[in-house]
Structure 1
Amino acid sequence: MYRITEAVKHLLIINVLFFVATQFFHDQMIQLFSLWFPKNENFRLWQIVSHMFMHGGFMHIFFNMYALWAFGSPLEQMWGRNKFLFFYFSAGLGAALIHTGVNYYYFEKGMSALYSVGYSQGDVMQMLKNVPINQYAKVPGIDNGIMQSFFSAYNGMAVGASGAIYGILVAFAMMFPNAELFLIFVPVPIKAKYFIPALIGLDLFSGITGYSLFGGGIAHFAHVGGALFGFIMMWYWKRNQFKNNRWN
């Protein structure tokens, strides 16, 4: 069992405080601290960071915080607090960047389709304001999937530390590739170097196809983005012999 390290402990406390506050001030917390699409009126610049401390439910925060402790603690012990925090937040910001970039793609695709059938920019913005969150408008001449992705990109908000956690998972797999992971739904141990790439592959598959084995409402490309940025940082540190240096 790994002992809980300083940075991990403080991250756990902040996440729990945000989660408790959300139970009492749900709508206000969601509006202020979730990551909204930049063109949405609810977007604020601090959400790029604050969304990492928001969670959608008990199981969401439980699994993220368990992973933070189980995989983050050994990394912080090896790297030191400052290097670990730099890595953690960089992976989280990378996840937000990829997630937002994918949303921009779907948003611009929807805008182009609406322009092609005669809608003006003012018409589109009025439509976005009138359609409730989690719904979409059907427009003759435009595929429903395009419209659903368009509205989802504009109205959807991202919450959770999962992007940063996926970066941590990648780092753990690269630092401890032969560590055996015991999973509730798999009766045999799986080495980290096999399990974590497979998990990322499932997220990539779900993001591309829209078919999720873990249910809806998951920001798959945020997971992939966190993993990608985590891999890039680990590759760079290894290449420049920074991997094992501590930043105290």
Structure 2
Amino acid sequence: MNGYRSYYSGYGGGIPPVVKGLLISNVVVFFLTYLGPVSVIGILGLVPKLAWSRLMIWQVFTYMFLHGGFWHILMNMFILWMFGSDLERSWGSKEFLKFYLICGVGAGLFNIILQPTSMIPIIGASGAIYGVLVAFALMYPNRLVYVYFLFPIKVKYLVIFLAVMEFFLSMSVSRSNVAHFAHLGGMLVGYLYLKGDWRFKRFGYMIYGYFNRLKTEKRLREKEKERKMMEEVDVILDKINKVGYENLTRREKKILEEVSERLSKK
């Protein structure tokens, strides 16, 4: 998590590229969905039972770009712009996109695991958005936001309140069109992802460290082999001084030839 800490403070600046791309793509898909002659909710929305029983695995990705109405997409896109922009400026576009998609897909999988027999389609970017909220709260815990543009509250308290509310709503027996499990899943995945620090750069350092370690170990083995060989050469040279070259064994002569070839190459 420390690697994600930023010293940037304050809202402002233009919309960064990934946030802008997500805003545009969500709005375009929204209008295409409602203007199109055929409903795609059953195909592109996340239907938990179909996703695993009929292997419609693309749904855990496509459902993020569908929305159920104007206010649904407006609130999600507003929160994405408001909180996601600072995260992308701080982490970089590639890292932010990776985090956003992982939270969205993770939220979908979380919902499938907890409601595997559900045939109710789940749509919306809310799972990814809740992951963004968690990330923002971890990075800027004391940043003030204004609920309904009137009531100031620190981000950390707002996110804690949302998490508790989503938990109790998910436990409610009343049927709801809101995918509370997906919201909780997005928050949980986002939190675990950041605490685990699963970034591209970290993977790059891990891979580099692994191969660098292999290279170092190989070099040490070669040095050790060379040291042992030179010790044998010293013994062989002492033998030559005492009894002459013609009295060396075939193996001893071969060792001298190998060492001679190595030294000539150097």
Q: TM-score, normalised by structure 1?
A: 0.71
Aligned to 1:56: 68
1:237 counterpart residue number: 197
TM alignment of 1:90-109, pairs within 5 A: 90-104=102-116, 107=117
Q: Secondary structure at the match of 1:38?
A: helix
Q: Distance in 1 between matches of 2:165 and 2:37?
A: 31
State the alpha-carbon separation in 2 of the partners of residues 17 and 173 from structure 1: 29
How well do the aligned residues superpose, as a CA RMSD in angstroms?
2.4
Residues 211 and 36 of structure 1: is their aligned pair in 2 closer, same or farther, counting only changes over 3 Å? closer
- The residue type paired with residue 6 of structure 1 is P
1:45 aligns with 2:57: yes
Secondary structure of the corresponding residue to residue 159 of structure 1: coil
Question: Which TM-score applies when normalising by structure 2?
Answer: 0.66
| Residue 23 in structure 1 maps to residue 7 in structure 2 | no
Secondary structure at the counterpart of residue 172 of structure 1: helix
Q: 2:43 aligns with which of 32, 43, 55?
A: 32
C-alpha displacement at 1:43, in angstroms? 6.6
CA distance in 1, matches of 2:62, 2:104: 10
Native 8 Å contact 2:50 2:56 kept in 1: no
CA apart distance, 1:183: 1.0
Cα distance in 1 for residues equivalent to 2:56 and 2:28: 21
Kindly provide the CA deviation profile for residues 48-105 of structure 1, in whole angstroms up to 9, marking residues without a partner as x. 111000000000000000000000000000000000011000001110011111112x
Matched, 1:176 2:140: yes
Measured in 1, the distance between the counterparts of 2:179 and 2:37 equals: 20
Structure with the bigger RCO (C-alpha within 8 Å, sep 6+) is 1
**Which structure shows the higher helix fraction?**
2
Aligned to 1:67: 79
Aligned equivalents of 1:59 and 1:89: distance in 2?
22
How many residues align? The count is 190
Q: Deviations over 1:91-144 (max 9, x none)?
A: 01110011111112xx3xxxxxxxxxxxxxxxxxxxxxxxxxxxxxxxxxxxxx
Structure 2 spans left out of the alignment, 5+ residues: 1-10, 203-266
1:44 and 1:95 mapped to 2: Cα distance?
A: 16
Q: Distance in 2 between matches of 1:194 and 1:205?
A: 17
Q: Judge which range, 60-69 or 22-31, deviates more.
A: 22-31
Is 1:194 the counterpart of 2:157? The answer is yes
Look up the SS of the partner of 2:61 in the other structure.
helix
Query: Which structure would you say has the larger Rg?
Result: 2
CA contact (8 A) 2:83 2:132 kept: yes
Residue number in structure 2 paired with 1:163: 127
Structure 1 unpaired stretches of 5+: 108-152, 243-248
1:31 Cα deviation (Å)?
2.4
Instruction: Quote the Cα distance in structure 2 between the aligned partners of 1:8 and 1:31.
Output: 27
Match of 1:11 in 2: 22
Distance 1:37 1:172 in 2: 29
Alpha-carbon distance in 1 for matches of 2:113, 2:37: 27
Matched-pair contact (CA < 8 Å) for 2:87–2:136? yes
- Distance in 2, matches of 1:101 and 1:233, equals 19
Check conservation: 1:88, 1:164, Cα contact below 8 A. yes
- Against the structure 1 CA distance between its residues 74 and 59, is the aligned structure 2 distance closer, same or farther, given a 3 Å change threshold? same
Give me the whole-angstrom Cα distance separating, in 1, the residues matched to 2:152 and 2:170. Answer: 27
1:16 match: secondary structure: helix
Q: Which amino acid aligns with 1:190?
A: I
Identity of aligned residues (%): 39
Compute the displacement of 1:23 (Å).
1.0
Question: 2:48 touches 2:111 (CA, 8 Å); kept in 1?
Answer: no
Task: After TM superposition, give the deviation of residue 27 of structure 1 in Å.
Answer: 4.2
SS in 2 for 1:28: coil
Amino acid at match of 1:188: F
